[in-house]
Structure 1
């Protein structure tokens, strides 16, 4: 690619992946609602942008060959905040993409679209959504919006239901949901390079022995995750007590999100 746009670049995942993103295009346009930390690489530029500002998002997308959309609220929060960032902001992004040549989009969806499935259930991309909070509902909306733009306008999007994309698992649930940074980078490269992408749901999970999710419907992309959370099991067992069998972290794929309260407006 000549120019890659990364929204949410100042967030935790954006910061962790920056070095890998810099290798994916001649120029990487980083964006967030807050200033980015640290100095920029030679091929990086930063544009501060509120995704709720349609005109600013239109300008942001101009000239981009691909978009990695990490922007928005990434945890449970008040509906007003989720509305602006995850619903209105995403709509603005898709309208901007439609007006600017329809660059492929990697949409950071979430396992919280299906959080109420139990951990003893194994599901594929055809399983009905079971969101575990307003954040999860916003990602269900995002997937539906992307599907409509694909069916109506041909806008291609990889809907990546990210499990736990962190340096290493920090609890027992993550032994199933973890995705390494390297596996995420290889997934993004596969999605951008595929001759035909479409609008697939892809489980963002590494090759963990205890994973719950079946990615066979996206095999045509050629993505083969290599890392396995199992190498961290012994470390966790030495340092972390197991949660009770009746606790959300042991019962539900969404973990604690299924029990977290809905935030009320002030």
Structure 2
């Protein structure tokens, strides 16, 4: 019998795929849920695969059975129409949280984003970085949905006593190249991402916490104090890629904002940012 069963929604997405091998532990079963079919277990990999949507209440109730902790990554990961964003990111998160509450899951980790505070300016960071609990200044419908997720997490903690940790993720990819020079600020390395999730899973009684999810990058503008209070220690730094990334001759007008190009992208229009 497993000592711990962790449900991960959105497990076939970018972050979920990166975390799947990194969150393997003896005595732990990963229950991986996504609307997309996923690769079968490899070798002795202890996984349970579930194909379902976070908007399906019955499926989520079943997926939460026998689960000790939940990592909610499911949802649209970039700008989309208001209807799609509302349905999947906001309503879907409420469905997930309610299923977790009904199943008695006490530890929930919710994936938010830097875009919930995207219209905060870089110069607000100060000496110690932008505080993780800075009030929302969303830059898109996507950012609004992440601000709503943060509020839902707070509600379910306050109402039902669930330990809820919300991570405002910068950008979690194998390398920061996808975002260009901006990635040198926002990058959360996959290995640091796993360290962060492990800290969130293992802290004895976090209550409700709002933290940044980034590596300790030389150009970091985000405070790591809140994540470090949970036991997180970053071992990676995006600066090692700096020579491979060329800054534009003239910084874009939206470079002054935390959300970068999201702050000028068309609202409601799916884009590749």
- TM-score, scaled to structure 2: 0.90
Aligned to 2:22: 20
2:174 is paired with a residue whose SS is: coil
Query: What's the offset of the Cα at 1:243?
Result: 5.5
Aligned to 2:157: 150
Matches within 5 A, 1:58-73: 58-73=61-76
- TM-score, scaled to structure 1: 0.92
Question: Aligned pairs, how many?
Answer: 260
Matches within 5 A, 1:210-249: 210-236=219-245, 240-242=246-248, 244-248=250-254
Q: d(CA) in 2 for partners of 1:10 and 1:189? A: 19
Q: Give CA-to-partner distance per residue, 1:144-202, whole Å, 9 cap, x none.
A: 01001111111111100000111111111111111101111111111111111111111
Aligned to 2:40: 39
Contact 2:136 2:147 in 1 (8 A): yes
Contact 2:212 2:226 in 1 (8 A): no
Q: d(CA) in 2 for partners of 1:60 and 1:181? A: 25
| Superposition misfits of 4+ residues, deviation over 6 angstroms | none
Query: What's the offset of the Cα at 1:13?
Result: 1.6
Contact 1:110 1:139 in 2 (8 A): yes
The reply to whether residue 202 of structure 1 matches residue 208 of structure 2 is no
Contact 1:22 1:44 in 2 (8 A): no
Q: d(CA) in 2 for partners of 1:124 and 1:200? A: 12
Aligned to 1:98: 101
Q: d(CA) in 1 for partners of 2:27 and 2:101? A: 21
Matches within 5 A, 1:108-147: 108-122=111-125, 123-147=130-154
2:58 is paired with a residue whose SS is: helix
Q: d(CA) in 1 for partners of 2:11 and 2:165? A: 18
Q: d(CA) in 2 for partners of 1:244 and 1:7? A: 40
Query: What's the offset of the Cα at 1:217?
Result: 3.4
Query: What's the offset of the Cα at 1:214?
Result: 1.2
- In structure 1, runs of 5+ residues without a counterpart are none
1:234 is paired with a residue whose SS is: helix
Q: Give CA-to-partner distance per residue, 1:226-249, whole Å, 9 cap, x none.
A: 11111111121xxx352622342x
Query: What's the offset of the Cα at 1:39?
Result: 2.6
